[in-house]
Amino acid sequence: MDQDPLTPLFSPLTTLRGVGPTVGALIAKVAGGERVIDLLFHLPESYVDRRQRPTIAEARPGQIVTLAVEVVRLEPPANERQPWRVVVTDGTGFAELVFFKFNRERQMPQGAKLLVSGKIELFGGRRTMPHPEHVVPADRPQLLPLVEPVWKLTGGLWPRQVASAIVQALARLPSFPEWHDAALLRREKWPGFADALRALQAPSAVPGGANRCRLAYDELLADQVALAVVRGRLRARPGRGLSGDDSLRAKALSRFGYTLTGSQTQALAEIDADLAADRRMLRLLQGDVGSGKTMVALLAMLRAVEAGGQAAMMAPTEVLAKQHHRTLSRLSPEPVAILTGGVKGRARAQLLRGLKDGAVRMVVGTHALFQESVEYRDLALAVIDEQHRFGVDQRLLLGGKGELTDVLVMTATPIPRTLLLTQWGEMDVSRLTEKPPGRQPVRTSLHSLGTLPDLLDAVARKLDEGAQVYWVCPLVAESEALDLAAAEERFATLRELFGEVVGLAHGRQDAVVRDATLAAFAAGGCRLLVATTVVEVGVDVPQATVMVIEHAERFGLAQLHQLRGRVGRGAAASFCLLLHEEWVNDAARRRLSLLRDTDDGFLIADEDFRLRGGGDILGTKQSGLPGFRLADPIEHEGLLHMANRDAAVLLGNDPKLASERGRAVRVLLRLFEKAAAMRTLAAG
């Protein structure tokens, strides 16, 4: 049997000549993977152009040039600290090649004709080229790379090592079938995949933008087709129709006492249609904090119970699970159980029995809900709250307690459209754009840390009026110890000013202490809560009307918006004070001003995405779309939307990818390792 032509690309780097374990490990470190393909996808950040060929007289300081010269003489250093100087000429003037480490006497004897390339500098009136990057005999110009890629490197790894590994890696590229639409390629004037890769990685000229776009589009299309394939499979898999008589829902609504907002009604209708259809639901319910997702989720869960099944809601933390449990228990006519790591012994055993024999029909909990030991008699609906940190595969697993389980994911993080297309591409989306009535917008203002004394006066007045205050301090992993110290110091000063009513909560505390403080804040005994971002996704205290955020410039916009959502939950006027460093750059000021001027979470998310890249939304520092190596979310946003449509049309015409282009696209999927999609296609 022929060897699979892709195998050499997925082999370890060390299968390349000249790449041993040491160099292999260094390349793997910068390329993010230890296979040949990882190196091929480690694209240069820029290029050095050595095609400038001035005479010595014409060469301008600061310029990178290639000179054709003849060696006039060698000047050895007078002492240890002096460099070697090689005086050269081309007839128009003289230049000195300067070497602090020199072992090239034999390569450049007097009279030798050379091509030298490097940066020209002016030193004491003389033209010098300190440490030329290339010195080759004039009669062997092919040894001098005229255009040199600049890869991201690491200590101990040299460009020529990468370059030589790349040349071999490129030689392993098989001849690929073209997976893109011919008309598209003509229109965009894109080269083929392998040609684009060669043009970028082993360039003979500074590569044009089309090469990079072509590869970005390859990656984006692979992603979009893969998501569409998985999505199509999930949809096609028979689910079951869940319908109900509204008996439980009607009771819940009457206990609730409010009418649903237009957004809630709309979202519920979309969910009901999914539930009623005999295919599986995979829906994302997006809405700001306070937009009323919980009620929508409860009504969906009750529908599952009305239909005779079970429903489970998973929260990311124990605090949130308990909070949901309280809310749901208050409104639900059907008893709601709770399962967290803290439920142990007989209580746990009894609950697990109830889930297995169906006596328990509604349950809230942490990820404990989906552990292997937990069996359900008939889990019809799984609601997953705030799981924006999960990837596609993880979400599929969570729904896996039953092949037929409908899945509703709720998130308060307004996800920018671009990210929705990629990271959540397998889901349908409902958005709660409208807030329940009676809310007042939170008045947001910016303050420099220098004005802290005035600000403290204002906070004192608010406390006197009976308000409760959140005081949020930043906490990031890289500076955790410092940040915690700062938070504790702030707590100490505030406690000195305001006394016992000041509490402190952060993630490094003993959970018992922290939960007690949060409970005291909820009960009103604690009136000013100094907290790191632990409050970000938890605690619902409608009486809290003031939020102070220190070093707001260090937070992402979406995160600030979410924090701000913690206040303004009751009818009283609420305030959000963003404290920033006295000196903040324009970009930071723009971001904070945007937050001051709008309350639209979706707008903020799209803007944040544009300003900082997508990484932040996922709680990581790195920017860019997670999992993308060739495409850049901001630069290639247009291409992403194009790929999204392209994938839909392709699969619409050729769902099994059986046509000539379809088969080529299968190669693309393998190249970008879309395993789930490949499995799905193989399963027919």
- Minimum Å distance from CB 571 to ligand ADP? 11
Query: Is-contact 350 401, C-beta < 8 A?
Result: no
- Minimum Å distance from CB 321 to ligand ADP? 13
Q: Look up residue 185 and give its two tokens.
A: 């390629």
Does the protein bind ligand ADP through residue 292 (CB under 6 A)?
A: yes
- Site residues (CB under 6 A) for ligand ADP, limited to 169-188: none
Containing 444, the helix (H) or strand (E) segment is: strand 443-448
Alpha helix (H) residue ranges in 237-317 = 247-256, 262-276, 293-306
- Minimum Å distance from CB 299 to ligand ADP? 11
C-alpha 164/C-alpha 148 separation (Å) is 12
Per-residue contact flags (x/-) with ligand ADP for residues 482 to 511, judged by CB under 6 A: ------------------------------
Q: Look up residue 584 and give its two tokens.
A: 């903040």
Which of 515, 512, 518 is CA-nearest to residue 530? Answer: 518
Which of 394, 472, 465, 469 is CA-nearest to residue 427? Answer: 394
Q: Look up residue 253 and give its two tokens.
A: 């609504």
* Cα separation values, 396 from 373, 650, 662, Å: 18, 24, 25
Question: Which residue in the set 37, 215, 275, 289 belongs to the binding site for ligand ADP (CB under 6 A)?
Answer: 289
Does the protein bind ligand ADP through residue 539 (CB under 6 A)?
A: no
Q: Which residues are CB-contacts of 482 (< 8 A; sequence separation ≥ 6)?
A: none
- Site residues (CB under 6 A) for ligand ADP, limited to 237-266: 258, 260-261, 264
Question: Which residue in the set 9, 86, 129, 295 belongs to the binding site for ligand ADP (CB under 6 A)?
Answer: 295
The residue (of 434 and 581) whose beta carbon lies closer to ligand ADP is 434
Question: Which residue in the set 117, 201, 294, 332 belongs to the binding site for ligand ADP (CB under 6 A)?
Answer: 294
- Cβ neighbourhood burial of 139 (10 Å; 0-12, 13-18, 19+): exposed
Does the protein bind ligand ADP through residue 561 (CB under 6 A)?
A: no
- Minimum Å distance from CB 258 to ligand ADP? 3
Which of these segments, 80-88, 100-108, 282-290, 300-308, binds ligand ADP (CB under 6 A)?
Answer: 282-290
Containing 365, the helix (H) or strand (E) segment is: strand 362-365
- Minimum Å distance from CB 419 to ligand ADP? 20
| Sign, Cα dihedral of 412, 414, 418, 421 | positive
Q: Look up residue 126 and give its two tokens.
A: 């003389």
Number of residues that bind ligand ADP (CB under 6 A): 14
The residue (of 38 and 288) whose beta carbon lies closer to ligand ADP is 288
- Site residues (CB under 6 A) for ligand ADP, limited to 412-441: 412, 436
Q: Which residues pair with 98 in a beta bridge?
A: 85, 130
Question: Which residue in the set 240, 293, 401, 674 belongs to the binding site for ligand ADP (CB under 6 A)?
Answer: 293
- Minimum Å distance from CB 550 to ligand ADP? 24
Distance separating the N- and C-terminal Cα atoms of the chain: 24
Residue ranges of E strands in 486-526: 502-505
The residue (of 46 and 259) whose beta carbon lies closer to ligand ADP is 259
The residue (of 264 and 644) whose beta carbon lies closer to ligand ADP is 264
Does the protein bind ligand ADP through residue 680 (CB under 6 A)?
A: no
- Minimum Å distance from CB 533 to ligand ADP? 17
Q: Which residues pair with 469 in a beta bridge?
A: 528, 546
- Minimum Å distance from CB 252 to ligand ADP? 12
Based on its alpha-carbon atoms, the radius of gyration of the chain, rounded to whole angstroms, reads 31
Query: Is-contact 290 439, C-beta < 8 A?
Result: yes
Which of these segments, 74-82, 122-130, 283-291, 387-395, binds ligand ADP (CB under 6 A)?
Answer: 283-291
The residue (of 384 and 579) whose beta carbon lies closer to ligand ADP is 384
Q: Which residues pair with 287 in a beta bridge?
A: 432
Provide the binding-site residues for ligand ADP, judged by CB under 6 A: 258, 260-261, 264, 287, 289-295, 412, 436
